[in-house]
Amino acid sequence: MVFKARSENNGLLDPNISTKGRPREDRKLTKRELLEKEQMAILRKLKPHLSTAILVASKIMNDPKAAEAPRLKACTIILDNYKELIGGVYEGEDEDGEEIQPNQPKTVFSLHMLPDPKEDKKD
């Protein structure tokens, strides 16, 4: 469908052009969607404080005046966060070390060497 320019339509918009924008879905969210939305809101609020929390844990861990229990707790907090971050990096590998790409098509790369035309002329 070709829309008419304003100059062709006496300065008016073409009646086939929708000015209402995208229609919204007026449906209720499911419990799962509500839960995911709420979790995302909480994560967005907590994310700026993560680096500060890890710095405080490292200060407690390195403080010689602190008791052993808080120092060990700080160590476990830092190690758990490290494991989680590293796990996210290597998420696409299984136990054998092979990469798992479930939604990716397999690509095959093949390299064939062509004979040199100069060598064929010498024979």
Question: Cα separation of 20 and 6, whole Å?
Answer: 18
**What pLDDT was estimated at residue 121?**
65
> Residue 100: what pLDDT?
56
Within 8 A by CB and 6+ apart from 74, the residues are 57, 58, 60, 61
Residues of the chain falling short of pLDDT 50: none
Could you write out the DSSP letters of every residue in 17-50? S--S-SPPP--PPPHHHHHHHHHHHHHHHHGGGH
pLDDT of residue 95: 56
Regarding pTM above 0.75, the answer is no
